[in-house]
Amino acid sequence: MLKHKKKEQKSLLIIGWREWLDLPALGIAEIKAKIDTGARTSALHAFHVKSFEKDGKEMIRFQVHPYQKDSHNTVTAEAELLEWRHVTNSGGHQQLRPVIVTPVELAGQLWNIELTLTNRDVMGFRMLLGREAVKQRFLVDPGGSFLLSEAKTTKSRKQPHP
């Protein structure tokens, strides 16, 4: 029998397998994310990824198409590079990805997450929120969608759901 910390579980919010998130430091007001407890680290669709130095710190500048099936709306962002990390992608192949730390907002909560940057153009979601980002913060209902969030813009609401 599994032992559960009942006090902790009662205080955790329940999220669906997909939710709308904000990445305020990156200038992304909303992005549909798949909550992926099978992925350790969170990942964001990014392209034109370039490293550079600013005030003695290694930085990453990149672009994001925050909406699925929309390559016209583009956000350019930059963040301090945490590290380069080998990550096993969904196809089982190792990739060397830049990792940043950035705040994420969901259901009125704002906290920092590690986020790898990779091209997710062929994937169904522009962002994955991995288990490190949700542990001890949320419980995931795999049968629920958008339990704690909804799209704020007309553009987002028009997106087909996978």
DSSP conformation letters of 100-158: EEEEEEETTEEEEEEEEEE--TTSS-SEEEEHHHHTTTEEEETT-SSSS----SHHHHT
Q: State the pLDDT at residue 91.
A: 76
**DSSP summary character for residue 39:** -
Q: Is residue 52 part of a domain?
A: yes
Q: Is residue 99 part of a domain?
A: yes
Q: State the pLDDT at residue 147.
A: 93
Q: Is residue 159 part of a domain?
A: no
Q: State the pLDDT at residue 100.
A: 98
Total number of domains in the chain: 1
Residues of the domain holding 107: 13-145
Q: Is residue 136 part of a domain?
A: yes
- CATH number, domain with residue 20: 2.40.70.10
Q: Along the 162 residues of the chain, how does pLDDT read in single tens digits?
A: 555 555 544 689 999 999 999 999 999 999 999 999 999 999 999 999 999 999 999 999 999 999 888 888 999 999 999 999 998 877 788 889 999 999 999 999 999 999 999 988 767 799 999 999 999 999 999 999 999 987 766 444 444 444
